[in-house]
Structure 1
Amino acid sequence: MYFTALLARTDNGWEASDTELDDVESLDELAELARETGQDEEPVLVCIEQEGAWFGIVRVDGEDDPRVFVSDAARAMRSAYGEILLSDELLGREPEDPYALDQLADLDGTEDGPDLSSGPVGATTDDDDGEAVPNGPVGDAGLMADFGIGRAAVLGLAPENALGEIADALGCAEVLEAVR
């Protein structure tokens, strides 16, 4: 079971709203949903948690690119909502396919092929495409530092109560609980 909420900073403090992400298919669509909720250039936090297994935070400030933090990439990758957040860039992958056919056009058959026997260092879980996904946190753990929630605090949050602790630190725990 998932819990998703949008926390938008306004002139009157933080406002929370629950939201369905069933129709959201990409991080860009998620960021656009956040922008529609936000007020001017004020930040919006998209909060996602899955039954104490993992949580994710997406911060959208106006038209800036969204900043993302996911507490456990391997667990999130097994989730439809997690897949929205886990871009190739966030996972440290090259966005282009290095084995694309157009890159093979000049080969004469004598070249050594790529070594596909091992994934990136430290990755112990594969996604559905056989790509390695890091176990543990990925993304920008400092995305809420200007709110007084530093990198170390974000990395130390336990998934089962992370969103509550974040809302408490922002001073909007009651607002978040009202939409839970």
Structure 2
Amino acid sequence: MIDSTGFHYSSGGFDPDNLTTNDIYRVNLDYTASNSNLVMTLTRNNEMFVSNRVAQLGGSFTDFRVDAISISSYSQAGQDTNNHGGVIYAGSILAHGTVDNFAVTLPPPPVQDLSGAFSNGLWHAQFTSRSNWLYTLERTTNFVSWRAVAASMSGNATNLLLQDTNAPEDKGFYRVHAERP
């Protein structure tokens, strides 16, 4: 969180520098999911203003995923902070400024260039895989329950071929399940 009193960039991490008006700030947040590290750099008028050390999630966070990004400006100026029967009507969202060059860089998806076809009575799913991922071909006949129809295979960062050697005669619908071990 960045506010007028300073920067809260991780539990216990705080930089008390104030943001000033009429300056141009650039914020760079770099989160690496593989090691749960967050690094923030902030420039003011194209000069380094803040560069924090790495903020890392604690060991109790076992499955953290970034699934939303927000840009908000929060102000409590002139707000009613009195308790009204257990409800405090304090705070507001008020934004003045310009946001541009906003970029979110994501890793490539774990399954790319997927194609599927029958060949000699066997269903084949072929796709470009990623290394350090496990892939399993799954089948359903009702879209309620899915089951693995082949052993899981490790990704190799090239084409991977999964096949159902016991395809049903009437119908079957397939998906490739990808997971990081």
TM over 0.5: no
The structure whose Rg is larger is: 2
**Which structure dedicates a bigger proportion of its chain to helix?**
1
TM-score, scaled relative to structure 2: 0.25
Higher relative contact order at CA 8 Å, sep ≥6: structure 1 or structure 2?
A: 1
